[in-house]
Amino acid sequence: MAEFTMELNDEQKEVRDWLHGFAADVIRPAAAEWDEREETPWPVIQEAAKVGIYSLDFYAQQYFDATGLGIPMTMEELFWGDAGIALSIVGTGLAAVGVLANGTEEQIGTWIPQMYGDVNDVKVAAFCSSEPDAGSDVSSMRTRAVYDEAKDEWVLTGTKTWATNGGIANVHVVVAVVDPELGSKGHASFIVPPGTPGLSQGQKFKKHGIRASHTAEVVLDGVRVPGSCLLGGKEKLDARLARAREKAKKGERVKNAAMATFEASRPAVGAMAVGTARAAYEVALDYARTREQFGRPIIDNQGVAFQLADMRTSIDAARLLVWRASWMAVNGKPFTAAEGSMSKLFASETAKKVTAQAVQILGGNGYTREYPVERMHRDSAIYTIFEGTSEIQRLVIARTLSGMPIR
**Cα separation of 211 and 194, whole Å?**
25
Angle between the 373-380 and 257-290 helix axes, to the nearest 10 degrees? 160
Cβ atoms of 289 and 392 closer than 8 Å = no
CB 374 within 8 A of CB 35: no
Active site residues: 387
Pick from 116, 120, 260, 106: nearest CA to 187: 260
Count Cα neighbours of 218 within 13 Å in the Cβ-side half-sphere: 35
193: DSSP letter: -
Residues 12 and 327 sit within 8 Å (Cβ to Cβ):
no
DSSP 329: H
Residues 6 or more apart whose CB falls under 8 angstroms from that of 124 comprise 40, 45, 88, 91, 92, 115, 165, 168, 169, 170
How many Å from the N-terminal Cα to the C-terminal Cα in the chain? 31
- Is residue 266 within 8 A of residue 343, CB to CB? The reply is yes
